[in-house]
Amino acid sequence: MADYHWPEAGKRSLIGKRISRLDGPWKASGRVKYSYDVQLPGLLQGKMLCAPYAKATIKSIDTSAAEKMPGVKAVDVIWAAGKEVLWSGQEIAAVAAETEEQARDAVRAIRVEYEPLPHFVSDVEPEKAGADNSKQTAEQTQGDPDAGFKSADVTHEGHYGVPVITHCCLESHGQVTAWDGDHLTVYASTQSVTANVDGFATGLGIPAASVKILTPVMGGGFGSKFPVDTWGLSCARMAKKAGRPVKMMLERDQELMIAGARPSMHARVKIGAKKDGTITAWSSDSWGTGGIRAGGAPTLPYVFRIPVSRTRHTAVLTNIGPIRAWRAPNHPQMAVITMAALDDTAAKLGMDPVQFFLKNIDLTGKLAPVYSAELAKGAELIDWKKKWHPRGDKTPGPIKRGVGVSMHTWGGGGHASNCATTVRPDGSVDVSLASQDLGTGTRTVIAIVAAETLGLPLEAIKVNIGDSSYPPSGGSGGSTTVGGVSSSTRRAATNALNELLEKIAPSLGAKADDLEAVGGRIQVKGNPAKALAWKQACAKLGATPITGQGQTTADIISSGVGGVQMAEVSVDVETGVVKMEKMVAVQDCGLIMDLKTAESQVYGAMIMGVCYALYEEKIMDQQTGRCLNPDMEFYKLAGIGDIGELVVHMMTGAGYDERGPIGLGEPPTVSPGAVISNAVANAIGVRVPELPLTPERVLAALEKGGTA
């Protein structure tokens, strides 16, 4: 009988190999249909009206003119008169019409009377925000910080920060909704197929059994596409009203204004250290805004658990629009604050930051050996010893080069996932779970696990995901998907295989315990001569397929990874332009399922990191309370020429593989802001305190205290 544990290194035919994603050909040929692409007979186009005020009371809404506009088939009020608007862009009403152009015209014909109220959209420290707009959420003291700072030879004080950024999914949020009687089908661009069933059922007051969610592919979520949202429910209501399917995808400006943002985080930090680099104390006073509600407090310092510390966090409450989980919530901000402050402390001590990190590596806890190994590997890949120099590149000329380092961590584990693996008498295998592939390669991982378990080639497996009628599976967030689906699929496929082995054991004159599935055969262990080809074996099932069920269990997956990144930049001190030269990521994630898509995750995370380190910022206008850059010209992302050379090294083999799979979506996106900030400081000799490291900010920092 087969057991659930992952095969040993020499016995893996697919796991850990470089395998091209299964949906690659559908995507690269342009033929796959995303939610945005779905066409149905009679499809109407929906558009939303969004509030122009950051804070206001809705006095009245008059949709009568819009209803009479050409092509209009349904109008839906989302936020009724009497209610309060709490951020600009808030969803007010929607229209479904024959064409997009008609729907837009009709949206403009909706008359809304607002009573504007004073708003607050400034991402400033609590003292400036005032008591009405701030709320202290945490304060903690460990050990004796005063004594800790007193015992220090050197103390460093600095200010660091990261602004609000958005998700900017390329497929904007939205869906197509279609009713068949009382049954609703939603083609949703979602990270959570299973949970969207309940979202629509609850939101519309219909039984969950009447809702079907379809998401064969989706165009990016990054943490922002879990709920069904007001526009999902509105779309469904309009489809019901019109008696026709409705597509409503957010316009680009709406996507950037209201469909998700990452909270800001800023801090004043003080660190004490001995001459030899031993850290004696940490204190931080941090703040940030996540919109109108106070979110959770950060855990500072990050990675290094300095036992003597004082921390305080205050939420600044603003009318900037709702935040959503953004790939590794809080971690990139905590990494910038901690790693930049530590880097500045190392500079003050005259120490190489890698040596400073190593000196204090025990503070990282049980991952210390992993970090040590990763620091060594990263240093080798970027040629740290040759490239690092004390603060400020003294080379003549305006181009200054520098290197930086950062470390990060993330949990992982597995979300609750159920899988059904069916083996049919004709030898075909289908693996079904109501999961989703955000572009991370989930579909491919599921096929790899099933094929490896059943000893079959990848092509023999049909993966059914992206459909809520399959067994429930968790949403894709927190890097829990690979753990969840690998675990449930491994168990389901193993259970199906064991049932098959029991059935065919007599015909091989063996006990089921002595059989194995390898190379497309069922054979007596280690004896290919005593074997049945897979199809022959399955034929013995007669008319009845076998279905193995599997659920996530913690025994074959893990949680908790460490990663190290290093970057080299060049900075033109005359223009302030930062150019990426090279960036190295060294990352562990337990047992890698598909090396190709795993590396892609890391490359992608590093590139997203370059985006937020150098370019991204949601800019709010104090006067009007509106977002000033809700478009892709002024909300900037890195292009293919902006990223420099990227190198990824995955930590694999003994010490890593036996942990089982651990998710990889979040961890490598944590450090880029910190490494790039540190590399710039190393290059120009001064800290640019706030991301993104725009030319303006670089020049301002040089002006203030440049030694370059």
Partner 1 sequence: MTKRDDPKNSEKQKKEEKTRALGRRDFVKLVGSTTAAISAGVLGSAGVLTEEASASVASAEGIIGPGAVPIVLRINGEKKSLTVEPRVTLLDALRDRLDLTGAKKVCDRGTCGACTVIVNNKAVYSCTTLAIDVAENIGSGADIRTIESLAPEGQLHPVSAAFVDNDAQQCGFCTPGFVMACKAYLDQHPHPTYEEVQHALGGNLCRCGTYMGVRHATVEAANKMRRGA
CB of 489 to partner 1, least distance (A): 21
**Cβ closer to partner 1: 306 or 611?**
611
Backbone φ and ψ for 143, nearest 5 degrees, come out as 65, -150
Token readout for 30 is 């342009």
**Cβ closer to partner 1: 543 or 640?**
640
Q: In terms of Cα–Cα distance, which of 615, 617, 610 is closest to 165?
A: 617
Quick one: which of 81, 147, 170, 554 contacts partner 1 (CB under 8 A)?
170
**Cβ closer to partner 1: 19 or 496?**
19
Binders in 386-445 for partner 1, by CB under 8 A? 438-441
Dist. CA 8–CA 19, nearest whole Å: 19
Quick one: which of 12, 17, 104, 540 contacts partner 1 (CB under 8 A)?
104
CB of 193 to partner 1, least distance (A): 15
Instruction: Indicate if the alpha-carbon torsion angle 682, 685, 689, 693 is positive or negative.
Output: negative
Quick one: which of 15, 92, 246, 702 contacts partner 1 (CB under 8 A)?
92
**Cβ closer to partner 1: 239 or 643?**
643
Which residues, other chains included, contact 205 with Cβ-Cβ below 8 Å and sequence gap of 6+? none
Pick the stretch among 28-36, 351-359, 404-412, 424-432 that binds partner 1 (CB under 8 A).
28-36
Q: What is the crossing angle of helices 672-684 and 695-705, to 10°?
A: 40
Binders in 460-489 for partner 1, by CB under 8 A? none
**Cβ closer to partner 1: 215 or 464?**
215
Quick one: which of 44, 109, 316, 651 contacts partner 1 (CB under 8 A)?
109
Quick one: which of 100, 383, 430, 499 contacts partner 1 (CB under 8 A)?
100
**H/E element, 175:** strand 174-180
How would you list the strands of the sheet with 521-524, edge to edge? 515-518, 521-524, 527-533
Binders in 649-708 for partner 1, by CB under 8 A? none
**H/E element, 29:** none
CB of 605 to partner 1, least distance (A): 7
* Angle formed at CA 690 by CA 685 and CA 695, multiple of 5 degrees: 65
Whether the link from the prior residue into 692 is cis, omega within 30° of 0, is yes
**Cβ closer to partner 1: 4 or 36?**
36
**Cβ closer to partner 1: 473 or 597?**
597
Quick one: which of 28, 80, 81, 554 contacts partner 1 (CB under 8 A)?
28
CB 583 within 8 A of CB 402: no
Q: What is the maximal distance between C-alpha atoms in the chain? A: 84
Pick the stretch among 16-24, 231-239, 372-380, 681-689 that binds partner 1 (CB under 8 A).
16-24
**Cβ closer to partner 1: 107 or 204?**
107
CB of 647 to partner 1, least distance (A): 10
CB of 204 to partner 1, least distance (A): 26
CB of 466 to partner 1, least distance (A): 13
Contact flag: residue 168 with partner 1 (CB under 8 A) = yes
* Angle formed at CA 489 by CA 484 and CA 492, multiple of 5 degrees: 125
Token readout for 520 is 């497309």
Q: Where are the alpha helices (DSSP H) in 383-462?
A: 384-387, 442-454
String of contacts with partner 1 for each residue 39-58, x by CB under 8 A = x-----x---xxxx------
**Cβ closer to partner 1: 24 or 655?**
24
Binders in 534-593 for partner 1, by CB under 8 A? none
SS3 state of residue 101: helix
Dist. CA 245–CA 177, nearest whole Å: 6
CB of 15 to partner 1, least distance (A): 17
Binders in 210-269 for partner 1, by CB under 8 A? 217-220, 222, 249, 251-253
**Cβ closer to partner 1: 88 or 494?**
88
Pick the stretch among 35-43, 232-240, 369-377, 412-420 that binds partner 1 (CB under 8 A).
35-43
**Tokens 């701030």 — which residue?**
134
Dist. CA 235–CA 187, nearest whole Å: 11
CB 439 within 8 A of CB 451: no
For the beta carbon of residue 3, count every other beta carbon within 10 angstroms: 9
Dist. CA 489–CA 484, nearest whole Å: 8
Binders in 504-523 for partner 1, by CB under 8 A? none
Pick the stretch among 27-35, 196-204, 349-357, 479-487 that binds partner 1 (CB under 8 A).
27-35
Size of the site for partner 1 (CB under 8 A): 79
CB of 649 to partner 1, least distance (A): 14
**Cβ closer to partner 1: 75 or 504?**
75
Classify burial at 682, counting beta carbons within 10 Å of its beta carbon; exposed 0-12, middle 13-18, buried 19 or more. Answer: buried
CB 672 within 8 A of CB 612: yes
Binders in 592-621 for partner 1, by CB under 8 A? 596-597, 599-601, 603-608, 615
CB 265 within 8 A of CB 334: yes
Pick the stretch among 15-23, 333-341, 447-455, 494-502 that binds partner 1 (CB under 8 A).
15-23
Binders in 633-652 for partner 1, by CB under 8 A? 633, 636-643, 646
CB of 267 to partner 1, least distance (A): 27
Pick the stretch among 109-117, 157-165, 339-347, 381-389 that binds partner 1 (CB under 8 A).
109-117
Dist. CA 560–CA 54, nearest whole Å: 40
Q: In terms of Cα–Cα distance, which of 88, 256, 229 is closest to 164?
A: 256
CB of 168 to partner 1, least distance (A): 6
**Tokens 């069920």 — which residue?**
549
Q: In terms of Cα–Cα distance, which of 417, 370, 696, 399 is closest to 561?
A: 370
Dist. CA 350–CA 345, nearest whole Å: 9
Token readout for 607 is 């590139």
Token readout for 11 is 């016995």
Q: Where are the alpha helices (DSSP H) in 35-110?
A: 64-67, 100-108
**Cβ closer to partner 1: 123 or 437?**
437
**Cβ closer to partner 1: 4 or 34?**
34
**Cβ closer to partner 1: 376 or 577?**
577
